[in-house]
Amino acid sequence: MGDWAVEARGVVQRYWDDKLGRERTILNAVDLTLAPGEFASVVGPSGCGKSTFLRLILGAERAKAGRLSIFGHPPEEPNRDRGIVYQRYSLFPNLRVIENVIFGLELEDVNFLMKWLWYPAFRKKHRHFLKIGHEYLERVGLGEHAYKFPHQLSGGQQQRVAIAQALIMKPRILLMDEPFGALDPGTRGELQEWLLNIHAEHRPTIFFVTHDLEEAVYLSSRIIVLSQFHAHPDGGEGAQIVADLAGIDAPREARKAHPGYRQTIETMLRYGFDKKSQVRPEEFLRTHRDALPLREAAHAVSA
């Protein structure tokens, strides 16, 4: 396949550690090819670099080594091709819901001079953006809340606004960093179903970071397990993709009852979360059709 949504080859990220007095490797020679339209969940122990990898794709950070490309090009600064939704809602408390939703459109297309010197032109664009914003709010079931402020909404409603805020820019990749982690189980379940509907309708590539293994298996067509808890034969450090798994091939209503549901969770725990297992690189598990073979040991990066 030619045009990958995300392609990582030997990607390394390090940060300076004052306690160690040196740079510490967080991601060590990460290889990944992610197809357009894939719903990929990324799981792993705390500190394994899940959010770091997401920030590299977003373009908020640059890798220290290796090559990363988004649709065939190096990641630029964050732009409308990559929408981002965090666990904490990225909403402006002083703006109404509809103003939050259309903020990105206006930021991209309305400059200072138009707003203050060519007010009629601004009003025309503003009315057009409001129309689009209302359509997206209706789509997420919040049409009647358009002129409320964020604090007047529940947590689940605020997260829907944040997702609408990202989707209205029509991103090719939707990056989600623990988006449902702060919600109660009922609201979380509702938003999971809603997100699956959005993905089925629009087919964005979704890169979904979560600590909830059941959520990952239920939502995803692909599960990527990052972990630092594996053998480092070269004396190095840092997380690698220890398992690259195909999701459950069943309708969503049948996934949790599928024999592979619990088996997949147990596999994720064994390969990614067991500090004592010390799985060797040649034992890493790859069941997804696009999973890359193990790189040669010479490409691994030591501390």
How many beta carbons lie within 10 A of that of residue 143, not counting itself? Answer: 14
* pLDDT for position 296: 40
Q: Given pLDDT bands bounded at 50, 70 and 90, which one contains residue 298?
A: very low
* pLDDT for position 111: 56
299: amino acid identity, one letter: H
Give 3-39 pLDDT, tens digit per residue.
899 999 999 999 999 998 999 999 999 999 999 999 9
Whether the per-residue pLDDT at 117 is higher than 80: the answer is no
What is the DSSP-derived secondary structure letter of residue 153?
S
Parse the chain into domains and list their residue ranges: 6-81+172-299, 91-170
CA distance 36 to 38: 6
Predicted TM-score of the model (pTM) = 0.87
Three-class SS state of 139? helix
- Domain 6-81+172-299 grouped into CATH 3.40.50.300: yes
CA distance 35 to 47: 26
Q: Given pLDDT bands bounded at 50, 70 and 90, which one contains residue 106?
A: confident
Task: Find the mean pLDDT for residues 48-66.
Answer: 94
Of the candidates 173, 291, 186, the one whose C-alpha atom is nearest the C-alpha of residue 240 is 291
- Is pLDDT larger for residue 50 or for residue 118? 50
- Identify the weakest region by mean pLDDT among 66-70, 188-192, 244-248: 188-192
**Residues of 90-114 as b/e, b for ≥16 C-beta within 10 angstroms?**
bbeeeeebbbbbbbbbbeeeeeeeb
What Cα–Cα distance (Å) separates residue 16 from each residue in 24, 181, 221, 300? 6, 28, 35, 19
Are the C-beta atoms of residues 177 and 87 closer than 8 Å to each other?
A: yes
